[in-house]
A and B are shown apart, each in its own frame.
Chain A
Amino acid sequence: MQRYILRRLAQLVPTLLLITMMVFALMHAIPGDPARMMVGAGDALDEAQLAVVRREYNLDRPVPVQYALWLGRALTGDLGRSSANQRRVGEELLLRASVTFELGLFAWLIAAAIAIPAGVIAAVHRGRVPDFAATLVAVGAVAMPGFWVGIMLILVFGVHLRWLPTQGYVPLGTDLADGLRHMVLPAIALGITSAALMMRQMRSALLEVMSLDFIRTARAKGLAKWPIVLGHALRNAMLPVVTVMGLEVGRIFAGAVVIETLFGVPGMGRLMVQAVFQHDFMVVQGSVLVMATAVLAANFITDILYTVLDPRIRYGA
């Protein structure tokens, strides 16, 4: 197990390196002189400043050298300064990433909290009204863009009913209740697709397990349905569900870009898109690094959980 964990951890390193290299290449493929983009047009344009900017951001060096310089400093924890606003990228990302993590975690928890019970109920009542209703909702939810769900939530709960705020972000640390109120609508919009997918996975995994011999035997022995489901079937059915839940972390991060824009949440997704447009290389590099690390970590934890949940799996060297 330990060796497996170490080997998986070691695999993350080349993947992360590849990702940062790809971002670097992609950013440099964007036409236009990055120094001119930083200094700005019209009355802001100034030759003396162009020279300063080129030197300061190493833009006068070859691209591979620029990458190496960035990587070297990133390894010491220095992600550089934003070219758009001169703030330290590390500081900025710490703030922005914590917002996205909060939102993503909340969305993910809401999704799981809806999906697992709904999936269990649907499986237990297979073919009857609860199953039909849950499946219908899930199939519908997967076919709707998350931002569209968000628009509808704003219209209904924000504008018409005025139950919940429709914009902004209050850190959970400063005011837990208000922070959660601000988080509800974006989290639902962000998590709804994941909830539907988790629910369907839960349902089918449980049905599959329940069709296995040992469950049938237990039922034949006269054990009641719910204790069997909760005591035996659920644990075995959780395996594929855990995998899906792990994979959904990536989807939630990708979705955050649009949802953050819609709800005015100052997270990393919005920052990243703006940074691409502003040619803010340091911010793009830094935020992709953070996001990729988070998604890879989630996948890694999923793998480990998988082995914990299923004692039959033993990972060798």
Chain B
Amino acid sequence: MIALPTPDSVAGHLLRTPRAIFGIAVILLVLLGAIFAEHLIPYDTEDMDFDALLGGITAAHPFGTDQLGRDMLSRLILGARVAMEVSIGAVGLGVAIGVPLGLATAIIGGWFDDVTMRVMDAVVVFPSLLVAVALAAALGNSLGTVILAIGIANVPWLARIVRGQALGLRELDFVAAAEVAGTTRLRIMTHHILPNCLAPVIVQTTLGMGYAVLTEAALGFIGVGIQPPTPTWGNMLQAAFPLLEQHPLLSVVPGVAIFMLVLAFNLLGDALRDILDPRMRGIQ
């Protein structure tokens, strides 16, 4: 049986890895901001002060004000909520569909495997941004649409990983032994194969969350993401771009926020891969 690190040892490793600590700290910070946004924001995000349009950094507005005189810090914090909702939602959707699908293709095999994997190939090739644009046109611009579009793009990657792992594991002795012992396919799947797929899935989902934040930003920037007045880091960047020369702070604030959160997800994902995939340890 493959030696899977215990949760305790994973945590121990993580807490000895500086980049993992950085990643966890940033993610926790953003997550707390997202959960307690209403209590943290100094101003209502729709309060406009027409006498303080495009304001610089002051004690009252630590990140300045935007083109409608709204407090940037408050909008940034509410944007953090959207970022977390999108990344958790999209990756969750990807896992919820991709993992069972990958397992099923590995266990059932045959034509089901062939057809499913062709569909997955098609989804991978299909530009995810186009899916988002078409979904936005069909269902309207909302949080759900964005999650759905990014979530669909996650499905094939997770399905492929799980399928690959499961196929490899099926050949191994302990699964064969279980089969001989008369254990049902479903039980083998849930009790033997699934736990062993966990490591690569955890790594992929962590990286996928960073990717979701980037995709939301791109969608927001081309105007097909979540629409104002809900502030998102992507639509804040869209509104800021025309004012780049006059007031670069507007572009810098959400830009840095995106950078930090994606960096945090990526560093944590890398650290997890190193720990969970011993073959790679010391090389990355």
Could you tell me which A residues sit within 8 Å of B by CB distance? 11, 14-15, 18-19, 22-23, 26-27, 29-31, 139-140, 142-148, 151, 154-155, 159, 200, 204, 207-208, 211, 250, 253-254, 257-258, 261, 269, 272-273, 276-277, 288, 291-292, 295-296
Contacts and interface: CB of A to CB of B under 8 A. Distances in A.
Contacts of A257: 127, 129-130, 222
Contacts of B263: 139-140, 143
A30 B118 contact: no
A167 B262 CA distance: 29
B109 to A, nearest CB: 17
19 contacts: A15-B118, A19-B122, A22-B123, A26-B131, A139-B267, A144-B258, A144-B259, A144-B262, A145-B221, A151-B241, A151-B244, A208-B283, A211-B283, A272-B130, A273-B129, A273-B224, A288-B126, A288-B130, A295-B125
Q: For this complex, into which size category does the number of interface residues on chain B fall?
A: 35 or more
B45 to A, nearest CB: 22
B177 interface: no
B207 to A, nearest CB: 9
B244 A155 contact: yes
B134 interface: yes
Contact of B134 (A26, A148, A159, A211): A26
Contacts of B123: 22
A208 B282 CA distance: 10
A136 to B, nearest CB: 11
Contacts of A11: 118
A27 B251 CA distance: 34
Interface in B177-225: 210, 214, 217-218, 221-222, 224
Nearest to B254: A148
Q: Which of A14, A146, A204 has the most CB of B within 10 A?
A: A14
Contact of B125 (A155, A211, A250): A250
| Across the A-B interface, the 4 shortest Cβ-Cβ residue pairs | A143-B263, A143-B262, A18-B122, A30-B138
Given A30-B138, A207-B283, A15 B122 contact: yes
A15 B218 CA distance: 27
A203 to B, nearest CB: 9
Q: Which of B118, B137, B258 has the most CB of A within 10 A?
A: B137
Interface string B248-284: 1001000100111011001100000000000010011
Contacts of B126: 19, 22-23, 288, 292
B266 A139 contact: yes
A292 B260 CA distance: 33
Given A19-B125, A207-B283, 5 more contacts: A22-B123, A147-B218, A211-B283, A253-B127, A292-B125
Contact of A276 (B137, B241, B266): B137
Interface in B78-134: 118-119, 121-131, 133-134
Contacts of B133: 273, 276-277
A302 to B, nearest CB: 13
Contact of B218 (A18, A200, A258, A288): A258
Contacts, number: 112
Contacts of A254: 127-129
Q: Which of B123, B127, B262 has the most CB of A within 10 A?
A: B127
B173 interface: no
Nearest to B224: A273
Contacts of A208: 283
B237 interface: yes
A297 B194 CA distance: 34
Given A14-B118, A18-B119, A204-B280, A145 B214 contact: yes
B171 interface: no
Contacts of A146: 218
B17 to A, nearest CB: 14
B283 A159 contact: no
B245 interface: yes
Given A15-B121, A143-B210, A258-B218, A30 B134 contact: yes
B266 A291 contact: no
Nearest to A18: B122
Contacts of B217: 145, 147-148
Contact of B284 (A14, A204, A211): A204
Given A18-B118, A19-B126, A143 B222 contact: no
Given A143-B262, A250-B125, A273 B255 contact: no
Contacts of B248: 155
Given A15-B122, A139-B267, A254-B128, A204 B283 contact: yes
A148 B138 contact: no
Nearest to A258: B218
